[in-house]
Amino acid sequence: METDYARMPTLLVVDDDPSNLDTLRVVFERESYKVLTARSGREALDHIRTGGVDVVLTDLMMPGISGLELLKGVKTIDPLVEVVLMTAYGTVERAVEAMKQGAYDFVTKPFKRIQIVKSVRRAMEKQSLLQENRTLREQLRSLRGNPSEIVGSSVQFQRMMDLIRQVAPSEATILIQGESGTGKELVAKEIHRLSRRSDQQMVPFNCAALPRELAEAELFGHEKGAYSGAHKARSGLFREADGGTLFLDEVSELDLATQGKLLRVIQDGEVKPVGGSRVMHVDVRIIAASKDVLQEAVAAGRFREDLYYRLNVITVAVPPLRDRPGDVPLLAAYFIARFAAKNKKIIGGFTPEALDILQGSPWPGNVREMENVVERAVILCRTNIITMAELPAEMIEASGRPVSGPLEVRLGTTLEEIEQRVLEATLASVDGDKKLAADLLGISQRTVYRMLERRRPSAVDKSTARD
């Protein structure tokens, strides 16, 4: 009878000694685990990348990649995989240090079978609990609807989201690069939402919003009387974000002196308020963002190179909207739904012509510009569909389409004539689609045909015209 490995917890045993590998494999197969083996850290990482490993049991002292280095690699690839270390008595201090870096447990050699089995079993139980919690969170999120505000389906968008999902559970500092309006703060929120700090708050700070003295006080806090106007002490955003995430938007706008203080906080995890002498420990994950290319700012001497490397552990590049035109219809629908609900309107979408204009726009202001355009269109829309008429004139001009001006009516023009001209203008804007024109004007399709029939010359008119 074949063993059902798909339902079995999987243990990866790593040791450069083949006899130890064989012994441990037999021990844990008897415990009903699926057992994988590796004779080096590099081979072990290949197994982790493949996926499906729940717990790693590894020797601490190995040639090449050590057990400690393997621990770091495992946690980088999949933070939910638990690691148990095997160590000799002389290296217990290093094993304890490894536990501080994320190892679940360690066992000392020579170990008893019951001891090592118990340690691995507990690691398996913890890993299973973490997986269950993750599944429950995902189910709760799906019940509430997708909480993410990032919308897209293009290849460029999916690549970015894959990277976000991969790096979010880690503790790495992340740098988000992208043009203004691409949604860098939304990306930061998504990383925080998917992180292990999601139960704590993400505190945003726009580094370009305040002058140097006030920016320092806002970030690091200040003592009473530290500067003019400091009438009372303030803890600062680093301490406010303790346990959570601090988002530094437009980090390139910080002056060099403040950059130096930021570097010390990242390195030491300690904050000293402006005008104070006390140093306080903080546990904060930093996500930084910049519309400027930081390498260029470093080359120009406006940004510290050492800080750049501290921030740039992982870079998430947010693509501009012009590079993902396939996402425009999806974003348009998303923004219509949001602003229609906000303005208590029922709007089904855009006419094909209006949507063509949106997709053909270069969007220099990116998603933020599109959001504003759609909000404006929703507010101006008088029917249940948005036409070219609700789009900005400059956008229509850029598309090469004629821009309809206001309907000019001379004094004495009959109401019937005005109605006819409105109908003709509407039909021209929707390429003759009579049903759509009727919907836009709030009249029946039969009325449209009757009005068009009214415009046709009668038999008497035709005979007169021939005469």
Do the domain assignments include residue 276?
yes
The CATH code of the domain that includes 452 is 1.10.10.60
- Residues of the chain short of pLDDT 70, as ranges, are 1-7, 89-92, 95-96, 129-148, 222, 224-231, 275-277, 402-411, 429-431, 455-467
Could you tell me the CA-to-CA distances from 280 to 245, 259, 277 in Å, in that order? 17, 19, 10
C-alpha–C-alpha distance, residues 42 and 22, integer Å: 19
The CATH code of the domain that includes 25 is 3.40.50.2300
Q: What is the pLDDT of residues 394-414, one digit of tens each?
A: 888 888 776 655 555 666 778
Question: What is the structure's pLDDT at 143?
Answer: 37
Question: What is the structure's pLDDT at 120?
Answer: 93
**43, burial (CB in 10 Å: exposed 0-12, middle 13-18, buried 19+):** middle
Question: What is the structure's pLDDT at 29?
Answer: 92
**β-strands 270-271, 280-281 pairing:** antiparallel
Do the domain assignments include residue 81?
yes
> How many structural domains is the chain composed of?
4
- Final residue in a domain of this structure, among 260, 288, 319: 319
For residues 162 and 310, membership in a common domain is answered with yes
Q: What tokens appear for 425 in the block?
A: 């203008």
Q: What are phi and psi of 353, to 5 degrees?
A: -65, -45
For residues 312 and 337, membership in a common domain is answered with no
For residues 192 and 237, membership in a common domain is answered with yes
For residues 307 and 192, membership in a common domain is answered with yes
What residue spans of 32-112 are helical by DSSP H? 41-50, 67-77, 92-100
Do the domain assignments include residue 146?
no
Question: What is the structure's pLDDT at 6?
Answer: 47
Q: What tokens appear for 194 in the block?
A: 């998917």
For residues 328 and 387, membership in a common domain is answered with yes
C-alpha–C-alpha distance, residues 314 and 240, integer Å: 24
For residues 446 and 330, membership in a common domain is answered with no
Q: What is the pLDDT of residues 265-284, one digit of tens each?
A: 898 888 887 766 678 888 99
The sign of the dihedral angle between the CA atoms of 281, 265, 163, 160 is: positive
Contact 312, 267 (CB under 8 A): no
For residues 218 and 266, membership in a common domain is answered with yes
C-alpha–C-alpha distance, residues 446 and 434, integer Å: 10
C-alpha–C-alpha distance, residues 154 and 160, integer Å: 10
Do the domain assignments include residue 273?
yes
CA dihedral 3, 7, 8, 12 (to 10 degrees): 110
Could you tell me the CA-to-CA distances from 138 to 131, 245, 410 in Å, in that order? 11, 21, 63
The CATH code of the domain that includes 196 is 3.40.50.300
- Final residue in a domain of this structure, among 319, 348, 365: 319
Question: What is the structure's pLDDT at 288?
Answer: 95
The CATH code of the domain that includes 333 is 1.10.8.60
C-alpha–C-alpha distance, residues 381 and 337, integer Å: 14
Q: What is the pLDDT of residues 206-246, one digit of tens each?
A: 998 888 778 888 888 767 655 666 667 777 899 899 999 99
For residues 334 and 283, membership in a common domain is answered with no
Structural domain boundaries enclosing 374: 320-399
Q: Under DSSP, is residue 88 helix (H, G, I), strand (E, B) or coil?
A: coil
Which amino acid does the sequence have at 146? N
Question: What is the structure's pLDDT at 34?
Answer: 93
Q: What are phi and psi of 426, to 5 degrees?
A: -65, -45
Which residue is listed with tokens 């990383």? 191
The mean predicted confidence, pLDDT, of the chain is 83
For residues 363 and 459, membership in a common domain is answered with no
Do the domain assignments include residue 257?
yes
- Final residue in a domain of this structure, among 278, 302, 319: 319
C-alpha–C-alpha distance, residues 191 and 29, integer Å: 38
| Displacement of CA 415 from its chain's centroid (Å) | 54
Could you tell me the CA-to-CA distances from 24 to 40, 83, 105 in Å, in that order? 15, 15, 17
